[in-house]
Amino acid sequence: MKLAPTLQGGLRIDADSLEDWMVLEAICADAVSLPGASLYERLSEKMEGDADWEEFVAPEIRGQFTDQIAHVSRAVSAAPMDEEHAGSIFISEEEASIWYGAINQARMTLEQMYSISEVEDFTDLDELSDMSDERRSAIIRGHFYSTFQCLLLEYVLE
């Protein structure tokens, strides 16, 4: 998979295989996979007892979280691909914050579930060989999500 800035100020994702599409689909799956209370509910717990939060802020954030995931899911599922599973997604400047938010939800969920920040940098997958397949996969996806967000920040978001 390749990610690169576009001349129009957006970001282009070129997926070359079925595995690439699976990683892109995992953004939404990871974002909503937190067991128990949702990520939004966990964040809202810190504001318990604040009437203004519940009346003015909570509905907007709840909707924003849901809309971000739905947007990314639609973009990935609607992307055209050829018979070898190659295809592209173009993220416009206007959509970049939506993608950033969905990816952030996925990263926060992975952190809650797998403590992925404990493994900051790795140069070889062999360095992750002593952990479960599930955690290793989460760490690799978290690393990809972080890189994806950095590209959005560097080339698209101001």
pLDDT per position as a tens digit, 36-45: 777 777 777 7
Exposed / middle / buried, residue 40 (Cβ in 10 Å: 0-12, 13-18, 19+): middle
Section 54-79 average pLDDT: 89
CA 70 to centroid of chain Cα atoms: 12
> Is residue 86's pLDDT more than 70?
yes
Round the average pLDDT of the chain to a whole number and report it.
88
